[in-house]
Amino acid sequence: MHRHPLIGYLATGGTISSTSAGTGTGVVPSLTAAQLIDSAGFDDNRFDVIAEQAAQLPSASFTFDTLRTLDRRARAMVDRGVDAVVVTQGTDSLEETAFFFDLTWDSPVPVVFTGAMRNPDETGADGARNLRSAILVGGDPSSAGRGPLVVVNDRIHAAGLVRKAHTSAVDAFVSDGAGPVGEVVEDRPSYYSVPARRPALPIGGQDARIAVYRSTLGDSDDILRHIADGPYDGLVVEGFGGGHVAEWQVPAITGICSRMPVILTSRTGGGRVLESTYGFAGSEIDLTARGVIPAGHLNGLQARMLLWVLLSRGAGPDDIRGAFSTR
């Protein structure tokens, strides 16, 4: 007998589940996994769904423990034979969860993330449609082996490229420099391209605290000195332009490099950091000569996540440098 695709669904809260108690105090995560699945409108039972409530949070309050929980529960669903895992979460930190899975997921079973920009109380709410499209993507055999995906506004994005780029629009998610890898039309996904992925690095058991410092015009080295003395295991610098900091910050960064990995990204949010063009104090050549590790095309959030995954595995300096030099 032909069986329906089996979808493992993990609900975690976010706008897609947020309704108001009618007291004028704003919407909060409340709809359950079962209610959300019902809203996706599959009256024809074309999918079998195992629905689980993995959390009920605004996604700004996700932690690395939340990511570990999602990783464990998604893997347990694969062990139960699902054809895809679909995760709904708040859009605020969705790109970080999706990138975490892009780094760590080593199964051909697709993991598809979605959420909503408009809550279910709003006219034109997009959550039910996004969940429907995410399930359609996950349940289609053409999605297997493509790595984790993000489906929002009927666009399919590679989890390694996607970013939230608007506070409220339904097309808030973009894949800079590449565009979506596919789209959902008339209830069917179709793909234009295959996302490039680095080999998966399943998470390890250690924890790590990673600071992010964003360069701003005229800033002193106070924040960096605070980080140097703080409880951190790593630092990501979102430098100016091609990967630059103010010259008076170089001694502080050099000191931090002797204590923990320091990763260089660009605050521009697009393009690779440079490695061999500028020679002034605080330039990419100066910083890398002092031990700073350039992050290639990864933005600050992505670099922080990769460093966290590496440190969770107990990676040493050579492994860290090697992982960031993968193109």
Give the residue numbers marked as catalytic: 15
59 is in an annotated binding site: yes
Whether 92 has a binding-site annotation, put simply, is yes
**Does residue number 92 form part of the binding site for ligand ASP (CB under 6 A)?**
yes
Q: Is 261 in the site for ligand ASP (CB under 6 A)?
A: no
Q: Where are the alpha helices (DSSP H) in the chain?
A: 33-39, 64-79, 94-104, 127-138, 222-229, 250-257, 284-289, 300-312, 317-324
Tallying the residues shown for the chain, one arrives at: 327
Contact between 249 and ligand ASP per CB under 6 A = no
DSSP secondary structure code for residue 240 in this structure: B
Total Cβ atoms within 10 A of residue 199: 8
Q: How far is the CB of 89 from ligand ASP (least distance, A)?
A: 7
Nearest to 319 by CA among 208, 205, 201, 235: 201
| Residue 97 binds ligand ASP, judged by CB under 6 A | no
Our finding on whether 130 is near ligand ASP (CB under 6 A) is no
Nearer to ligand ASP by Cβ, of 119 and 249: the residue is 119
Q: What is the rounded distance in angstroms from the CA atom of residue 43 to the CA atom of residue 51?
A: 16
User: Pick from 115, 182, 234, 261: which binds ligand ASP (CB under 6 A)?
Assistant: 115
Do the Cβ atoms of 162 and 115 come closer than 8 Å?
no
C-beta of 172 vs 311, nearer to ligand ASP:
172
| C-alpha–C-alpha distance, residues 131 and 157, integer Å | 14
Based on CB atoms, which residue is closest to ligand ASP, 11 or 184? 11
Contact between 15 and ligand ASP (CB under 6 A)?
yes
Scanning 38-46, 58-66, 181-189, 247-255 for contacts with ligand ASP by CB under 6 A, the matching segment is 58-66
Residue 166 near residue 108, CB atoms below 8 Å: no
Residues forming contacts to ligand ASP in the complex (CB under 6 A) are: 14-15, 58-60, 90-92, 115
Q: Which residues are annotated as a binding site for substrate?
A: 59, 91-92
Q: Which residues are annotated as a binding site?
A: 59, 91-92
